[in-house]
Structure formats: structure tokens, C-alpha cells
Structure 1
Amino acid sequence: MTMKRRARVAAVQWADRAFSSLDELEGSLEAPLAEAARAGAELAIFPAGVSEALARVLALDSPDATGSRQLPEALDALAASLARAWRVTLGLGPVVVPGPEGPARVSSLFSPDGRLLGRQPQTHRTPVEQRAAGLARGRDLTPIETPVGLVGLVNGADLLYPEVSRILCLQGADILVHQGLVSDFSEAVALSRLWREVQANQVFGVEAYAAGPGRRGRSAVHAPLEITPGQDGFLARAAADGEPQVVIADFDPDALAKLLETYPIHAFRNPRQYARYFPELYRAAMTEGGSDDGRA
């Protein structure tokens, strides 16, 4: 574990809606970010959907502004500006970015001084994304070093594949982050998403969902069951799905370290065997015609 001190984090259940201007969109982001920063949050995570809202407002002024290159640049500029203004490590959600193998969905983190800390492309696709074609899969999973610890971004459909979180955690990720956008949500869904990955890997987690018309989800800050107040895996959770809220909690690495001393889950893993077999299996799956579930 690389995390050495307590850190306060925020999962922003952001109110997604139709915005009439860029200023209005920025205001909808800055208000909850200011709330998080004033509460002492060092890491603030927004859900997916911000880039789509940005594309819509940019198109109001110039239809060309939503092009494949202009939109990612505009989102980066917005994220860097907000991170710098409120002195937080910030994730504003994924955006589709052009690449040599086709467009890829990529999430980024920015430092409190507005620097890009790292990016993570989505490495798997939903059945809809597979049928639609055109969306390229990322080939690397790498934790991002931040002031609060190593963060693994579990992007889009990657949340449905447990090996993604495991690969990130085997590389030292202390915190798993998912930025979601869903239309249906239930307690069963909640327990099958990032909550499951945090429990399986014994790390911390931040899960943010958008709220608004056609948007559901209950944002949460996660930790292993044994170190959460209700022994339920939630350090904090939105009061309801579909309503905006800033969810704030503290990560305590000392409590996690004591838990791992009591039950050393990592000692039961076999990274040498993983390194021997898994890369070749993934290379086969990533060849042309390979499917996202690992079948060539």
C-alpha cells in the first residue's frame, strides 16, 4: 500500500441536464466542487456525462467545436482550470478521444495545480459498444500517482470485468474510481459494481453517478466491510439515487493496514502465475476478431 496518510475524498452526484451556455455548465460543476473543497476534500470525482454536456453547449455556439479533437481539449482545459481554482485532484469523467486504432473512451485526472496526472482508456466494451463498432479498446491498465495515493480508473464497461480492478491493484492501486452514467439502479446493481471490486481487492473506492432526467445511481465512497461504520462497505453514500449530492468521507490507511495484517489477502494471490498466463490470453483476445470477454 502506497497511501501513507488519511485523505478526504468526494464523490459528486452531479446534476446533469440541458444547459443553455458554457457558463451555466461550469457553474453546475463549480458549485459541488466548491462544496467538496471547502469540506476539505483532496480528491473530487465527477461522473460520466460531463463531456456530453460540454459537447452540447459548445455546439450552441459553433457546431464544429464538438469535433473529435476539440472536445477532448475543451474538457481538459475545463478540468485543469477547476482543479487549479479549488486546489483538488480532479476527475471530470471520460471523453471519446481519437487515436490510431479509432476513437477510445478515456478518463483523466488533474492535479491541484492543474497538471495532467494521467489518463486511462477503457479496455473492454459493452455489447452495445461491440455491435456499434468503431470504439477502440485500450491495451494498458496503469494506476495514476496522485497526492492522495495510487488511483486506478475503472472506466466504463471495465467495471463489468473483475480482472481490470485486479490488474490495477496488483500494480499497487490504493483507490479504485468509477465514473458512471446509468438509467436504471437498484441495491443489487450497487453491490455488483465498484462495491464488489473494493471488497475483492481490499482497497478504497470512489464511485460517482450523474443525477437528472434519465439518470440514476447512488454515489458512494467505499472501503472494506470491516473498516466501515456499518460494516457494510460504505464509508459514505448518497441519500438517494437520482438527486444531486456531494458524498464526502475519509480514507484511513492505518485502519486498512491493520485489517490486512489480520487477514493478509494478498498473500493468497499468485502473481507469478498471472504473469505467466494472462498476458498471452489477453494478447489473443485483443487480436482482430477477438471478443471483449476473453474468447478469441
Structure 2
Amino acid sequence: MTHRRSWTISAGMALALLASPLVAQRGPGPLTPDQLDKLVPKHPGYLGALAPENLRKKRPAPGFDLTGTWFVDLSEGFNKFMFGPPYPDFLPDAAKALAEGQAAAKAGRTYRDAIGQCYPPGMPMIMTRVWPIAMIQLPTVIYMVAGFENSFRAIYLDGRAFSDPDTVVHSYNGESIGHWEGKTLVVETRYIEPDNHYIDSGIPVSDDFAMTERMTMLDGGRTLQIEYIMTDPQNWKGEWRNTKRWTRQDHTDIGEVECILANNAHLPGTDLGNSKVGDAGDTEPRP
């Protein structure tokens, strides 16, 4: 099972359920407890993050509490939402993408505008969209919901291992597991979907993309700082590092958001909104 089948897998599972003997043979009648139990996907051998038993387990006190609404710090300029420059030593395909993206920006054109076509920004770009992010910290997990596309992310803190790479379904925000090192939360993220997933101006990520975040709290809990350490041996050499900050925002909330292609054509910078993504290198709309 590969990450590129993630969307197909989800659709296939739904179709399989509709076509299963469970549904086809029983029709609208009641289901037995065993049949109902089989409808719920379960973790093999460990509790869910919201299971009361898991939440009640004794754990060391966390280094800080992320609960709140946060906004990326753009006080040094709007371009701080980007993760470079400085950039790592890119391999040829990524170096070509960087040059093409910069040339398109100078010409006032979009480049690899997958986000404008409702593809998720994914990690790490979802963290620096110009929208607040709500974070809810529990003893077992941190949930994040972005104001941009209502993108959802979970960082598990309950000691679980990463999913089996042979069966996991890749996603744009990946699977994140965190642990505390004193007052620093260290988060490892794997299994990120690379299809139409870019950093900054069209820099691609591959199957091998992985990320470590080192989160610390500053200014008495008013400022969140995250150091990003990203690796992708298919696209750059060594580590790509960048540090960003977010400020706590106490007078805003996250509302419901949908990305609808038909509504995107008029938005600045999304002139590919009504076109198919097509080949990754395309810079012009496709019919």
C-alpha cells in the first residue's frame, strides 16, 4: 500500500462498505453489537487519545500548555510565512523548481498553485498561512485546527509508536508524535503525502520527507517558537532549518471553512483555481 493511493483507499473503503454483505444482506434492519463493532476502525493494542482511561493515566507534567489561538508572527515582513531563504543545497529537480517559482513571481504569475485548487497546504506550510490556528492540548494529544481550510492536525503525546509503514495512509499533515525534553516539546512527523505538496514557491517534497519540530514557549506564554528541521534526500542535501514564532491571540476564534474551486478564480494569486493541476511543472492554466 502506498501513499499515492490514499484518496483511492478512502473511496474504496466506502464503496466496499456499501457493497459488503453486512449492508447488502441486512438492508435497513438493526445491526448486532458485533456488526456495529466491526464498523469502527480500531487501534491494534492501544487506547485512543480521547479514551478516558488513557486521559487518566499518570504522566509527568508538560513543559507548557499550547491551548489557545495562535497567529504566525509577520512583524519582520509578510514573507516570513516562507521557510527560506536561506535554503539548503537543493538537488537538481528542487533547484529547478525554486528558480522557476522565483521567475514566475517576478513575472506576476502563479507557479504550482495547488493550494489555489483546494489541495491542502500540508506541513509545514499550513502552519504559516495568514490565518489563526486553534490548538487544544490534552495529556494525550494536541489537536490543531487551522482557520485556513480547517486543516486538522494531531500530535500524539501518549507514548504510542508510529503506524506500520506498510499499512499507514499518508496525509498532507502526516503522522506526528511528540515527547517532552524539559520545557521543549519535540515532535517527529512522518508519512506525509507528496502529491501536489510544495514548500514555499513550488519546492516539492518526496516519499522520504520527514520533519522534526522543537517547540518552546516564550514571553510568559504569549509567544510560541518552533524550530523546523526538515530532511528529504530526494530533494536536498542535509537539513533544512528554519525557526518561526507565533503570537497568542485571545480575541478571535476559528470558524467553519470550505475550499470550493468555483469560488477561487477571482482570488488574487489563484488564477489556476478553475484549472486542473496537470503536470507539476506547469505554470499556465490547463483546460
TM bin, normalised by shorter chain, reads under 0.3
**Per residue, is there more helix in 1 or in 2?**
1
- TM-score, normalised with respect to structure 2: 0.27
- TM-score, normalised with respect to structure 1: 0.27
> Bigger relative contact order, structure 1 or 2, given CA contacts below 8 A and separation 6+?
2
Which of the pair has more CA radius of gyration? 2
